[in-house]
Structure 1
Amino acid sequence: MLPSQNTRANAGSTRTSAVYRDLRQDILRGRLSPSAKLLIDEIGQRYGVTSTPIREALNQLVTEGFVQKVDQKGFFVAQVSRRELTELTNTRCWVESIALRESLANRTPQWEEQLILAGHRLSRINRSSDPEVFRESAPWEDTHKQFHMALLAACPSRWLLEFCSLMTDHAARYRYLSMSLAYPGRDVTKEHKALIDAAIDGPPARAIEMLTEHYRTTADIIIRSNMDLPD
C-alpha cells in the first residue's frame, strides 16, 4: 500500500473509532434513548462524519449488544427491560464472582496498592456535580469502572476480564436509571470502602458476597422505583 493510501486508511479508522466512542458513550449515558432509531443522516449531522464510518461503528456496537440491527428497518439503540436487567445482573454476579476469586488467589502487593489507589481516587470525586440532585459526573463514571476493574485485575484470564468489562458498561446504562432514585440516600463510597477492606483483609467468600450484594442493590433500586422500565 502506498503512503497516501496508508494515510487515508488511518484517517478512516480514526473517524470510525471516534464515532464508535461517541455513540457508545451517548448510549451508555442515556443521551440516546433505548429503542430510538439511529438514522445515518442524523448521526452524520450530530458527529460531523460521513456514512461509511457511521455504518462501521454501528456494526461494531451491534456485536457488543448496544445497538440492534433489524432487517429492512435499520439500526436501533438496544432496548432495556426488567427481564434484561435481571439476566444481566445474575450473569455479572456469576462471572465476576469467578473473576474476583481468581484475582484474590493471584493478588500481589502491587495489586493491593493499585486497588487502594483506585478506591482513593474514586472517593475524591463527587458522585454528582450538584449536591442536592443528581447531575451526571463523567469523571466519577470513568473512575468507578477503573475501581471495579482494579478489584479483578489480578485474574489471569484476559477473556474473563474483557467480558467483565463489557458487562460493566451494559450495567452502566441501567445504573443511570437509578441515579436520581438512589442519590444522595445511598452511600456508595461506604460500600466501595467495605469492598476494599474485604478484598484485602477478609476471606474471599466475604468479598464475593459483598460484590454481588453491591450489584443486586442497584438492580433492586431500579426495578422497585422505575415504573417506566418495561417488563
Structure 2
Amino acid sequence: MQNADPISNPPPLVEQAFTRLRADVLAGAFAAGAKLKLDELQGLYGYSSSPLREALSRLSQEGLVRADERRGFRVAPISAEDLADITHMRVMLDVPALRESIAHGDDAWEATVIAAFHRLEKVESRLSDGPVVLDEEWSGLHRAFHLALVEACPSERQRAWGASLFDQAERYRRYSARFRRSARRKSNEHRKLMDAALRRDADTACALLEEHILSTQRNVLAALRHAEGAER
C-alpha cells in the first residue's frame, strides 16, 4: 500500500496555527502589548488550545510575543528602545554576514540575488509614492532578497539569528510604512545594494546595508513621534 502523497497533506495543526498567528502579529492585526487570550484565539482561528499554545510559545522564541507564566501571552510592545536593540543587533550580525557572503558567493549565489531582486522590484514598482500598506507579498519578497544577500555566509547560526531579527523588525517596517512618502526610494536602495554586492565591492555593500538598516530605524522613530503627536 502506497503512502499518501505528502504534498497533498496539509501541514500539522501547530504549523497552521503558527503561520496564521505569526502573519497577523506581523501585520499588526493585534495591537502592540495586547493580551492574546486562548479562548478568543480559539474562536478566531478555530484551533484547540494545544496547537495555539505551542504556536504562541514559538512566537515568543522569535521575540514577537512575550510570555508570562501568570499573565499568559502578549504581543511584544513597540518602542524606540526595543527597536534600537533590534537595530544594533542587526548591524552586528547582518553587515559582517554580507561581507562573508560576498567573499564566498559563487555564480549560483549571484543568480539567486538577481532573481530575488527582480521579483521584489516588480512589486515595488507598483507601490505609490504616498502612504502604503506593506502586504504579505511584499514582505515575503523583501525578506527573500535580504536573506539571499547573506546566503553564502558560511555561518548557519549567523544567518538564522539575522533572519530572526529581520522578522522582529518587520512589525516596525509595517508600522512606519503608512507614514512613508516615498515608496520607490527603498527600491533604489535595494538596487544599489545588489549592484555593490555583485561587483564584489564589500566595503560599499556593507556601508549601504548598514545605512539601509539605520534608515528603517529613523523611519520608525519618525512614525512613533507622529503617532504620539496625534494622540495629544
Distance between the aligned counterparts of 2:136 and 2:115, measured in 1?
19
Q: Percent identity?
A: 33
Residue 64 of structure 1 corresponds to 62
Distance between the aligned counterparts of 1:74 and 1:195, measured in 2?
42
Q: Deviations over 1:89-138 (max 9, x none)?
A: 11101110111111011010111111111111111114776665413332
Q: Identify the range of structure 1 (77-86 vs 119-128) with the bigger mean alpha-carbon deviation.
A: 119-128
The alpha-carbon distance between structure 1 residues 23 and 30, as it changes in their structure 2 partners (threshold 3 A), is same
Residue 184 of structure 1 corresponds to 182
Distance between the aligned counterparts of 1:74 and 1:225, measured in 2?
29
| Aligned residues of 1:129 and 1:135 also touching (Cα < 8 A) | no
Match of 1:91 among 74, 89, 92: 89
Shift, 1:32, TM fit: 1.2
| Aligned residues of 2:30 and 2:75 also touching (Cα < 8 A) | yes
Q: Deviations over 1:49-86 (max 9, x none)?
A: 11111111111212221111223211111112101101
Residue 157 of structure 1 corresponds to 155
Distance between the aligned counterparts of 1:226 and 1:128, measured in 2?
26
Unaligned runs of 5+ in 2: 1-8
Read off the aligned partner of 1:139 and give its amino acid letter: E
Distance between the aligned counterparts of 1:44 and 1:218, measured in 2?
35
Match of 2:172 among 161, 171, 174: 174
Distance between the aligned counterparts of 1:204 and 1:27, measured in 2?
35
Match of 2:75 among 56, 72, 77: 77
Distance between the aligned counterparts of 2:205 and 2:118, measured in 1?
18
Any runs of at least 4 consecutive aligned residues in structure 1 with deviations exceeding 4 A, and if so which?
A: 127-132
| Aligned residues of 1:129 and 1:136 also touching (Cα < 8 A) | no
Read off the aligned partner of 1:17 and give its amino acid letter: E
SS of structure 2 residue aligned to 1:35: coil
Are 1:196 and 2:206 matched, yes or no?
A: no
Shift, 1:225, TM fit: 3.3
Match of 1:36 among 25, 34, 38: 34
The alpha-carbon distance between structure 1 residues 80 and 139, as it changes in their structure 2 partners (threshold 3 A), is same
Distance between the aligned counterparts of 1:116 and 1:54, measured in 2?
38
| Superposition RMSD in Å | 2.0
Residue 118 of structure 1 corresponds to 116
Q: Give the number of equivalent residue pairs.
A: 219
Q: Deviations over 1:34-53 (max 9, x none)?
A: 10000001100111011111
Distance between the aligned counterparts of 2:213 and 2:96, measured in 1?
15
Distance between the aligned counterparts of 1:121 and 1:70, measured in 2?
40
Q: TM-score, normalised by structure 2?
A: 0.88
Residue 54 of structure 1 corresponds to 52
